[in-house]
Structure 1
Amino acid sequence: MTSRAPRRDAVENRAGILDAARHALANDPYASVDVIARSAGLSRRTLYGHFDDREALIRELIANGAQRFNTIAASIDDPDPRIALARLASRLWQEAAHVQVAAALALDEAHLADTAEALAPLRRTVADLVRRGQDDGSLRSDLPAPTVARLIEEMARTVVSRTDAANTGAENLAVRSVLSIAGLSWRETDDLLASHSELVGAEKP
């Protein structure tokens, strides 16, 4: 017996709940299920028909956001690992800046396990770029690649959760921080960004 596809109104309700949750959490990171349901124009009972509880809703938001981040990571194809890391940092920052509160929720301690699993493809991309840079001598090799990749991840977590997205220098800070952890000096970073001005402020794919 084949399972039926979800009804169109059910799919639309679920999408509406997720969209309402993004906006509600942007205004208040502790927004309740009642607030989210009202924002979606639905009853609390209808919301619970789609999600078991608030945590299930947040996990779905994390999974959706992670899919977008993983897609960005898969689009980075620069042969130079330094440029690839800078471009990745820039594009991820642009994406995270639009949903900063939701991104911060995804990166808090309570959701780190879910986030780590959802972002596995992105994490592999960062680790692979670090290994490539170590192999060709363009990135630091005094630490194992997984350690450098983890340091980059922790730095990104701090920048997303602590930096004001409206700050015009935030993207530049994110890119420079990634390159610094990867082993570039500030002068080398200056030269790289000067010769590739599209890296900071580049349009999203």
Structure 2
Amino acid sequence: MTTRAPRRDAVENRAGILDAARSALSVDPYASVDVIARSAGLSRRTLYGHFDDREALIRELISTGAQRFNAIAESVTDADARLALARLTARLWHEAAHVQVAAALALDEAHVQHTADALAPLRRTVAALVRRGQDDGSFRSDLAAPTLARLIEEIARTVISRTDAASTGAANLAVRAVLSIAGLSWRETDELLAAHPDIVTGPTEAPA
């Protein structure tokens, strides 16, 4: 028996609900299902036809955001582990600033496990970069690769949650913080970013 593809209006309604949820939650992180449904121009019943409850809607927002983050991880191909980590950090930062609601939800402790599962490809990329950087002497080796990768994740979480994404130099700060944890001195980071100013000068489009 073949599975029927979703009707076009159903797909559009679902996308509209997600867009409305992002908008409503950016104004009020505790926005109710009723508020989100009204923002989408749909009834509460129609919304529940797509999502079982508010939590399911939030998990979907995190998942769709994670797909973009994972795609960004695949797009970074620099052979130099330092450049790759810097570029990955900057691109993820710009994307997180673009979808601040999804990023904030992902950083919420209540969704840690779901976020970790959704971001598994990105986390594997970071772990591989750390191992590569340790092998070629670019990154600190006093810590085991899994521990260093986890520290990089945690410092990135902290910077995102504590820094105004719209502030001047925010991406630069994020990159510098991550490279510092990886073991680069501030002088080494200065030299790297001076040689590759494109890394932090502006948003990079995520892959479609």
Same fold, judged at TM 0.5 (above): yes
Aligned to 1:169: 169
Aligned to 1:121: 121
CA distance in 2, matches of 1:25, 1:109: 17
CA distance in 2, matches of 1:96, 1:120: 17
Aligned to 2:187: 187
Aligned to 2:94: 94
Q: Is the 8 A contact 1:179 1:189 kept in 2?
A: yes
Aligned to 1:18: 18
* Identity percentage of aligned residues: 81
Question: 1:1-205 maps to which residues of 2 (within 5 A)?
Answer: 1-205=1-205
Provide the TM-score with structure 2 as the length reference: 0.96
1:107, distance to aligned residue in structure 2 (A): 1.2
CA distance in 1, matches of 2:28, 2:48: 20
Q: Which amino acid in 2 is paired with 1:42?
A: L
Q: Is the 8 A contact 1:134 1:140 kept in 2?
A: yes
Q: Deviations over 1:54-97 (max 9, x none)?
A: 00000001110000000000000000000000000000000000
Provide the TM-score with structure 1 as the length reference: 0.98
CA distance in 2, matches of 1:70, 1:102: 14
CA distance in 2, matches of 1:44, 1:161: 31
Q: Is the 8 A contact 2:95 2:203 kept in 1?
A: no
Q: Which amino acid in 2 is paired with 1:197?
A: P
CA distance in 1, matches of 2:176, 2:101: 22
Q: Deviations over 1:126-173 (max 9, x none)?
A: 010010000000110000111111011111111112211111121111
Q: Which amino acid in 1 is paired with 2:191?
A: D
Q: Is the 8 A contact 1:140 1:182 kept in 2?
A: yes
1:202, distance to aligned residue in structure 2 (A): 4.2
Q: Helix, strand or coil for the counterpart of 1:192?
A: helix
CA distance in 2, matches of 1:102, 1:28: 13
CA distance in 1, matches of 2:131, 2:8: 46
More displaced stretch, 1-10 vs 39-48: 1-10
Task: Tell me how large the CA RMSD over aligned residues is.
Answer: 0.9
Gaps of 5+ in 2: none
CA distance in 2, matches of 1:37, 1:158: 32
Q: Which amino acid in 2 is paired with 1:124?
A: R
